[in-house]
Amino acid sequence: MTRWALGVEYNGAPFFGWQTQVGVPTVQAVLEEALARIAGAPVRVIAAGRTDTGVHAAGQVVHFDSTADRRPEAYVRGTNAGLPPEVAVLWARVVPDDFHARFSAEARRYRYVLLDRRVRPGLLAGRVSFDHRALDASRMHEAAQALIGRHDFSSFRASQCQAKSPVRTIHELTVRRHGPFVVLRVRADGFLHHMVRNVVGVLAAIGAGERPVGWAEEVRQARDRSAGGLTASPQGLYLEAVDYPARYGLPSLVEGTAWSPFCD
């Protein structure tokens, strides 16, 4: 039995999230179906994180076990031949048996892309979030610094979140303007359900001048979801990368990714 790790990117717009569900298309389902053709047997993949409906990934990582004798190229090119155009395997690596896509991860990185202009997007529909308000990215970045560190993020947690603890550590959190886009990037040891989208909802209200810069810290300290703002839409959210210990030999960032205008 060999354990494999794969790097996967996908446009989440046509899918009802990552996790397999009866009667609707999901990323996990189409990936497992394509892998099974190459492995010659059913395959079950474990992901670093389960993304919601409409959420995208530039650097999702999964693992699976197989008895099939295959080269890495087979699990890249062969699997891609059986996938819909919105999903692609980027790389494949043999990993030790103790590797786990979810539990071996040291940190996860998300990116949220906001287009703030008077009219909704056409060309980038489904791939960016839209806000008709003019947003001040500098104010948003200043406010965001109050969220860095180890805190109770109950105020940014969805009511249906199943995590045992609301405590998480945010290592990095930046908000920058890139032309017509406001881009939030966050790295943390883990995320609660809707945590990034709820953070964006609070910061966007601050960026629009509807709330003071100090409101982000007030919301965090309240430890109550009702103290926060609206949940931002899923369309602008990307699982950017997952960080693992160096001993596994996996790419620390997605290789060959060029998704301008969202790059720094």
Q: Which of 52, 65, 152, 189 is catalytic?
A: 52
Beta bridge partners of 93: 5
> The tokens of 33 are what?
């179906």
233/93 Cα distance (integer angstroms): 34
> The tokens of 114 are what?
């906001």
> The tokens of 239 are what?
């699982």
132/130 Cα distance (integer angstroms): 7
Question: In what helix (H) or strand (E) does residue 59 lie, and over which residues does it extend?
Answer: strand 56-66
Examine the residue annotation and report whether 65 is marked as an active-site residue of this protein.
no
Identify the three-state secondary structure at position 225: helix
208/223 Cα distance (integer angstroms): 23
* 255: Cβ contacts below 8 Å, ≥ 6 apart: 7, 90, 91
**Active site residue ranges:** 52
